[in-house]
Structure 1
Amino acid sequence: MATGKTALVIAAGHGIGAASARALAAQGWRVGLMSTSDACETLAAELGGFARRGSVTETADLQALIDLALATTGRIDAVVNNTGHGAGSSAATQASTYNPDGDHHLLDIGDTDWHHGLDLYVLNVVRMARLVTPIMQRRGGGAIVNISSLGTVEPRPEYPLSVLRLALHGFTKLYTDRYGRDGIRMNNVLPGFVENWPVVDAVQRGTPIGRTVKLTEIADTVAFLLSDGAGAITGQNILVDGGLVRAAR
């Protein structure tokens, strides 16, 4: 159990972020949550944590959450960097149901959307790392988990901006090389199609486990990677996709 430890979870109002916050709280973590809506505040009240509304694209918002954590608990031991889809994602990515036979538009994505994706998928982690690393260094260590995507290892036109997360994976390697000896670990979790994102039957049949991934399965992986039991795991990309990537090759 992580009794007494504090974890920050970003984009924690719904989905993977909210599930991760629940899993961590159940294991004794004190959770600090952020999202762009008041959903993070509602969940924090339920879990006995604290929250602040804000965006991953705004350094001032991240700093405000960190300041709140230090004022509330006096420590930050872990961070879960989570975020949503970029505005330039394809219609299939933004739709309520994933259909690989849809009409995709790779070359229609403008520069603004590519830059926005970089802001959401890569620089969100860089910004947070700049702010929390000195705090973790002073405490003698910490752990960071970034929510990435299977789209980095199995690029597909249905979710084109996911390829930007390859830069995140490279940053993670560089970060762990530099700060591993300070006791700070960083890993990426790569979800497949998760239950809160309905997919057509053909996609489910093509997944070896025959179903979408449960939110709790992603959250439990996140919680493990932040735990002392994962103390030797760092700089890794962990697929939690029901075997989909293997099946696609």
Structure 2
Amino acid sequence: MNKTICITGAGSGIGRGTALHFHGKGWRVFALDKDEEALAELSELFSSERLSTHVCDVGEERVVGEAFDAMTEELGEAPLDVLVNNAAIADPYCGPLEDLSLDDWNAWLDASLTATFLCSRAAIPLLRRADGASIVNMSSTRALQSEANTFAYAASKGGVSALTHAMAISLGPAIRVNAVLPGWIETGPWQKAAEREEPEQREVDKAQHPAGRVGTVEDIAETIAWLVSPGAGFVTGQQIVVDGGMTRKMIYAD
């Protein structure tokens, strides 16, 4: 029987690449995103009965409930094997702290941290049907280090990392829970058509990474695929940093 995965923020970027990766492996994919246009493009790209799309703002409790109710109906008695909590506001920059409004602060937290809670809570009954279910939460290297004026984004991703190990302790052994912490990942080619960009990386950009290059969406999809595989069956509650070694490199001023 084909396995089933639900991916939030699946319309573009890492979410789109991950959906494509698992669909290519024969998985049934449930794709959630609040961008209806991006999901429509995704449907055209796959054109398959193994893809179901749901327009869903994953930071809204009622909307999440409706999406998972629809998913439950589609699955029937079948399980959900994997949930990937990927949705977030991509832009980390919010300006000076003294100018950051509470509404904007909440928007960053709702899109990532609250969404991870809401979707995980809704998915647990479906995941418990599976043998060897997994949740993968998308955190960030900004949960470990910061750039200026990224307060809300860093806080949301730090919260996702902490929520990950808390969930792993409580949901195991039936459900393993891990976090992926991407570094610099080039997502331009994986946006919807109206926002798609080709990478323009300088040699100095590549040189910041001990691996010698900027990361790709495929790097993250492959990491997720390993985390949810039987080969990672003894891995739970962990933060897997995928950044080409960038956070391990000491950088000095010229």
Structure 1 length as normaliser, TM-score? 0.84
Q: State the secondary structure of the residue aligned to 1:79.
A: strand
Q: CA deviation at 1:146?
A: 1.1
Task: Tell me which of 53, 57, 81 is aligned to 2:85.
Answer: 81
**Structure 2 residues not aligned, in runs of 5+:** 189-198
The ranges of structure 1 where at least 4 consecutive aligned residues each deviate by more than 6 angstroms after the TM superposition are none
In 2, distance between residues paired with 1:238 and 1:10? 19
* Residue pair 2:83, 2:120 contacting (<8 A) in 1 also: no
Shift of 1:33: 0.5
Q: What percentage of residue pairs aligned between the two structures are identical?
A: 30
Whole-angstrom CA distance in 2 between matches of 1:180 and 1:216: 28
Quote the offset at 1:217 in angstroms: 0.8
Q: What amino acid is aligned across from residue 8 of structure 2 in structure 1?
A: I
Counterparts of 1:237 and 1:199, CA distance in 2:
29
**RMSD of the alignment, in Å?**
2.2
- Cα distance in structure 1, aligned partners of 2:220 and 2:87: 14
Question: Kindly tell me: are residues 247 and 106 of structure 1, through their superposed partners in 2, closer, same or farther at Cα, counting changes over 3 Å?
Answer: farther
Paired position in structure 2 for 1:43: 42
Q: Residues 168 and 175 of structure 2 are in contact (CA less than 8 Å); yes or no, is this contact kept in structure 1?
A: yes
TM-score (norm 2): 0.83
| Count of matched residue pairs | 233
Q: Which residue of 1 aligns with 2:66?
A: 64
Long gaps (5+) in structure 1: 92-103
Partners of 2:100 and 2:201 in 1: CA distance: 24
Tell whether the 8 Å contact from 1:86 to 1:161 is kept in structure 2 after alignment.
no
Q: 1:128 to 1:204 in 2, by over 3 A?
A: same
Q: CA deviation at 1:158?
A: 5.3
Are the equivalent residues in 1 in contact too, given 2:93–2:153 (CA < 8 A)?
no
Q: Is the 8 A contact 2:59 2:112 kept in 1?
A: no
> Match of 1:130?
121
Aligned to 2:247: 245
Q: Which amino acid aligns with 1:136?
A: L
- Paired residue for 1:114? 105
How far 1:248 moved relative to its partner?
Answer: 4.0
